[in-house]
Chains A and B, each alone.
Chain A
Amino acid sequence: MRIAFVAPFYGSRAAGGAESECRQTAERLAAAGVKVDVLTTCLLDLHHDWRVNVHSEGIREEKGVRVIRFRAETLDWRPFVSLNSRLLAGETLSESEERQFIALHINSFGLYRHLAKQASRYARVIFIPYLFGTTYHGLQLCAERSILIPCLHDEPYARLRIFQTLFQRARRILYHSAAEQRLGQALYGPDAGRGLLLGEGVQTAFESDGARFLRRYGVEPPFVLYVGRKDAAKNVPALVRDFCAWQRTGKTKARLVLIGPESVTVPPGAEKYVLDLGFLPEQDKKDAYSAAAVLCQPSMNESFSLALMEGWCCGRPALVHGRCAVTREHVVAAKGGLYYENTAEFGAMLDYLFSHPETAQAMGEAGRCYVRRHFDWPVIIRRWQKEVLSPSTAP
């Protein structure tokens, strides 16, 4: 059996949750004996200029996966900017404008020609994530064998009518969480027999040393950890504000350690307890989870949250935003932490976790068990083989 993943970006240098999920799943399925092709563009990732084909075209073997790269169309994107701005400002686009929007998005005619010719050679063609020309147009060429991993958030793009067609055409839809599936059903109608709540794989067994992190970065415990992109979409400026307000109450002295790309403005005077360590090597990030007292995930736009899972793998309790259905449901199901909805609750929850270390530890352990039971890679790969790739589940 040969399957294909279709993704706009692929490779170890491609940053992003969907990109990481696609690469990990492809490599692990290949290691489990499935023949895997990845059909992708020559673009680097979401944050690089979409008009620059960085990788060379052609076929390369990468960790057991056959990666076939096609040039992305280098179209003039100025009309795209105009449509995108209107969309994000809350304006409704006409149907024709929606088609223009996706036509001006990341597309590769070479990839589409390959799909049209070769799709019948693949038992399944898996498209990830929903918001790209490669997914929207590519899926139309092989809808009968298509699987969509949408990585859906509640955002203006999700309300475009063209995506209703996409979700209705996909033969299977793999969701990361129950909340994501509910959003998909609410936006695009019922998915009975097509929607599958599969989750996402997490590497649960890894070495991490909290003391090494404290030594290397000179961080004084205890600290609350945030791992991820530090921008407003992830609600990080609000996290910093809430943390500073909590520290001003003086009940518990702690620091906030931020790890990840981008940067956040730290209010004057708060530098002593907010440490932005920037982008760290993978091992140092894992060491940080072990050294932390609490892992905080303030984002309200998550379809899974790998950072939350990795924090639990190190036995750390979590504090998540209550207005993110995905992370809140994980926390409630795992009994792995608490959630907050405003500044006062944020401080109160942290006061509780710091003043009840045994309960906090038990929450962390419960989280660890939850991840191992549901999202450990061997569990996910078995589910892929049984529920997605077995002949009885053919679309």
Chain B
Amino acid sequence: MNEPIPDVEALITQIRAAVREAGADPDDPQKNKAADPDDLYENLRLLNEAHLVGQSRGRGLRHRFGRFLFRCLAPVPSEINAVHVRLVRILNRLVMALDGRDTITAGELLKRTRQRQDLMALLSDRLAELERRVQALEQSSTGPCDAASVADAPRQ
């Protein structure tokens, strides 16, 4: 059990090597940052950083006044924040599901999609079957069966 304790810098180098091996750049976390303003991940990251109102950390007069104002209005921002926190959690979860990181939600979504597909396939089979039966009926009938003859048929 008395194993040598690894040197911390050696350990960090080892972690960085594994990260590099996985195809990421450990030295420049911003390198992969997309310039696209609609980039889903970048927007989600910014949303995670800034979804709480009244949380400005600035020291200037404007920031201090802002914080004072939010304290005075305490119940309102806290209700807004409660909604924001829920929205951000849901969005995080959805993106995780899209990425396959949240396999539970992704699994549920896939299951529901599969159920819908199965239902559609079932309906399509039933329609095809009905069509076949109608065609068979038409072929087996002795006389013509057009709209006019149906309309003239006696009703009970």
Q: Bits for B61-75, please: 1 = Cβ < 8 Å to A, else 0.
A: 000000000000000
Residues of A within 8 A of B12 (CB): 109, 112
If A85-B103, A140-B11, A141-B11 touch, whether A100 touches B19 (CB-CB below 8 Å) is yes
The answer to whether B100 and A85 have CB atoms under 8 Å apart is: yes
The answer to whether B48 and A52 have CB atoms under 8 Å apart is: yes
The answer to whether A81 and B22 have CB atoms under 8 Å apart is: no
Which of A47, A81, A143 touches B93 (beta carbons < 8 Å)? A47
The DSSP consensus for interface residues of chain B is helix
Residues of B within 8 A of A49 (CB): 44-45, 48, 92
Stretch at the interface among A70-78, A330-338, A376-384: A70-78
- Indicate whether A23 reaches chain B with its CB closer than 8 angstroms: no
Q: How far is the CA of A256 from the CA of B147 in the complex (A)?
A: 55
Interface size band for B: 35 or more
Residues of B within 8 A of A214 (CB): none
Q: How far is the CA of A141 from the CA of B88 in the complex (A)?
A: 36
Q: Bits for A205-233, please: 1 = Cβ < 8 Å to B, else 0.
A: 00000000000000000000000000111
Q: Bits for A243-270, please: 1 = Cβ < 8 Å to B, else 0.
A: 0000000000000000001100000000
* Nearest CB on B from A335, distance (A): 33
Residues of B within 8 A of A74 (CB): 29
- Number of residue pairs spanning A and B whose beta carbons lie under 8 angstroms apart: 113
- Indicate whether B23 reaches chain A with its CB closer than 8 angstroms: yes
The answer to whether B8 and A79 have CB atoms under 8 Å apart is: no
- Indicate whether A40 reaches chain B with its CB closer than 8 angstroms: no
Residues of A within 8 A of B92 (CB): 47-49
Q: How far is the CA of A235 from the CA of B130 in the complex (A)?
A: 40
Which of B21, B25, B89, B108 touches A100 (beta carbons < 8 Å)? B21
Residues of B within 8 A of A107 (CB): 15
The answer to whether B44 and A80 have CB atoms under 8 Å apart is: no
Residues of A within 8 A of B22 (CB): 79-80, 83, 97, 100, 103-104
- Indicate whether B35 reaches chain A with its CB closer than 8 angstroms: no
- Indicate whether A35 reaches chain B with its CB closer than 8 angstroms: no
Q: How far is the CA of A100 from the CA of B23 in the complex (A)?
A: 9
- Indicate whether B78 reaches chain A with its CB closer than 8 angstroms: no
Which of A76, A133, A141 touches B8 (beta carbons < 8 Å)? A141
- Indicate whether B99 reaches chain A with its CB closer than 8 angstroms: yes
The answer to whether B29 and A81 have CB atoms under 8 Å apart is: no
Q: Bits for B9-43, please: 1 = Cβ < 8 Å to A, else 0.
A: 00110111111011111100101100000000000
- Indicate whether B49 reaches chain A with its CB closer than 8 angstroms: yes
- Indicate whether A51 reaches chain B with its CB closer than 8 angstroms: yes
Residues of B in contact with A (beta carbons under 8 Å apart): 1-3, 5-8, 11-12, 14-19, 21-26, 29, 31-32, 44-45, 48-49, 88-89, 92-93, 99-101, 103-105, 107-108
Residues of A in contact with B (beta carbons under 8 Å apart): 47-49, 51-52, 54, 73-81, 83-85, 88-89, 96-97, 99-100, 102-104, 107, 109, 112-113, 115-116, 133, 137, 140-144, 169, 171, 231-233, 237, 261-262
Besides A103-B18, A137-B11, 9 other A-B contacts (C-beta < 8 A): A51-B29, A76-B32, A80-B22, A99-B21, A113-B8, A133-B15, A137-B15, A140-B5, A233-B104
